């Protein structure tokens, strides 16, 4: 009898918990310490030289308040990409964990669901701690905004997790990840509105930025943190990210099914 999606994913809880216990120390610096230093350097030190004009900073009264919400959203993307590139290839090419799992009643969709649940856990812990650390900086304009911003960060993280997971299942050489980071992650981080308003890019590139999932996450995170929410725009942002997650889910499952059938 075929396992339900939830049952199959939950059967792997012990495995992913073991993975976390053995690897969490390696992610402390990249997940928590480095982003905090980055915020202090960019938002506090560099931000001290930038005029806090709300008309130019999308409602933010300081560069720190402007940059922080976008940085957390970009951080969510980077964590998601990191967890769905080399770890996925390792499970397929090097230690071949997926092949041992598929020898059980588990199906590819169960493997994808469990892996993405682990990514969601990583996003929740990293972004949650990040937001807690930022609270004393006075960048949140309402008590409820940070909670909705946190939800938007999880959304954008999972959007990239599903897309990159599907990409990784179709990749046979890790060299492709270098292209992904250089031509995908880095440009998105720089030109998604995290560091400066995308209106500075000009009309054409501004609309290109608006088409990227990261901009939708950055915009949501910033609106909620600064309490400058345009609910119609927020609904569009959420809808885009949800659609990307749904499409990415089928992209990931089909990719893993084909890859495992090639063995």
Residues 6+ apart with CB under 8 A from 116: 158, 161, 162, 165, 249, 252
pLDDT more than 70, % of the chain: 95
Domain count, the chain: 1
Query: Mean pLDDT over residues 178-186, rounded?
Result: 93
119 within 8 A of 83, measured Cβ to Cβ: yes
The pTM for the full model equals 0.92
Q: What are phi and psi of 106, to 5 degrees?
A: -70, 150
pLDDT value for 27: 73
Q: What are phi and psi of 58, to 5 degrees?
A: 55, 40
Range of the domain at 256: 5-261
pLDDT value for 122: 94
Q: 225: which 2 tokens? A: 């943190």
Query: Mean pLDDT over residues 58-76, rounded?
Result: 87
Nearest to residue 64, comparing CAs of 208, 220, 226, 181?
A: 226
**Helix, strand, coil percent values for the chain (each to nearest 5):** 80, 0, 20
CA 213 to chain centre: 10
Query: Mean pLDDT over residues 241-262, rounded?
Result: 95
* Residue 179 pLDDT > 70: yes
What kind and span of H or E run contains 203?
Answer: helix 203-210
pLDDT value for 214: 96
Query: Mean pLDDT over residues 117-143, rounded?
Result: 89
* Residue 15 pLDDT > 60: yes
CA distance 69 to 191: 15
- In SS3 terms, 86-98 reads as HHHHHHHHHCCHH
**Torsion sign across C-alpha atoms 108, 113, 116, 117:** negative
pLDDT digits (tens, 9 = 90+) for 196-234: 899 989 999 999 999 999 999 999 999 999 999 999 999
pLDDT digits (tens, 9 = 90+) for 18-33: 988 888 877 777 667 7
pLDDT value for 37: 79
What kind and span of H or E run contains 35?
Answer: helix 34-39
What kind and span of H or E run contains 257?
Answer: helix 231-261
* Residue 55 pLDDT > 70: no
* Residue 36 pLDDT > 90: no
Q: 72: which 2 tokens? A: 């957390």
What kind and span of H or E run contains 235?
Answer: helix 231-261
Nearest to residue 70, comparing CAs of 159, 152, 186, 182?
A: 152
pLDDT value for 21: 87
- The lowest-confidence range among 28-32, 64-68, 251-255 is 28-32
pLDDT digits (tens, 9 = 90+) for 88-106: 999 999 999 999 999 999 9
**Helix axes of 13-23 and 108-134: crossing angle, nearest 10 degrees:** 40
Q: 22: which 2 tokens? A: 């053995």
The burial class, CB within 10 Å (0-12 / 13-18 / 19+), for 32 is: middle
The burial class, CB within 10 Å (0-12 / 13-18 / 19+), for 50 is: middle
pLDDT value for 1: 52
Q: Higher confidence at residue 136 or residue 131?
A: 131
DSSP assignment, residue 61? S
Q: 191: which 2 tokens? A: 């030109």
pLDDT more than 90, % of the chain: 68
């Amino acid at each position: 009898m075929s396992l339900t999606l939830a049952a199959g994913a939950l059967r792997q809880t012990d495995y992913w918990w073991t993975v976390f216990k053995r690897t969490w120390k390696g992610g402390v610096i990249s997940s928590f310490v480095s982003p905090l230093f980055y915020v202090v350097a960019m938002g506090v030190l560099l931000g001290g030289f930038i005029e806090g004009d709300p008309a130019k900073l999308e409602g933010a009264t300081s560069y720190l308040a402007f940059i922080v919400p976008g940085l957390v959203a970009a951080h969510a993307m980077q964590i998601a990409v990191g967890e769905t590139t080399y770890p996925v290839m390792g499970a397929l090419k090097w230690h071949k964990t997926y092949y041992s799992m598929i020898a059980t009643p588990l199906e590819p969709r169960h493997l994808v669901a469990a892996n993405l649940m682990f990514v969601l856990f990583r996003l929740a812990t990293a972004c949650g701690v990040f937001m807690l650390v930022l609270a004393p900086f006075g960048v949140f304009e309402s008590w409820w905004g940070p909670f909705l911003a946190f939800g938007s960060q999880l959304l954008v993280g999972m959007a990239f997790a599903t897309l990159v997971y599907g990409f990784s299942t179709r990749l046979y050489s890790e060299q492709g990840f270098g292209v992904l980071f250089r031509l995908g992650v880095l440009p998105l981080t720089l030109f998604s509105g995290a560091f400066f308003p995308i209106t500075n890019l000009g009309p054409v590139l501004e609309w290109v930025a608006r088409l990227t999932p990261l901009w939708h996450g950055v915009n949501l995170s910033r609106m909620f943190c600064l309490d400058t929410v345009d609910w119609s725009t927020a609904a569009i942002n959420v809808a885009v990210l949800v659609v990307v997650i749904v499409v990415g889910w089928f992209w990931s499952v089909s990719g893993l099914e084909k890859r495992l059938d090639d063995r």
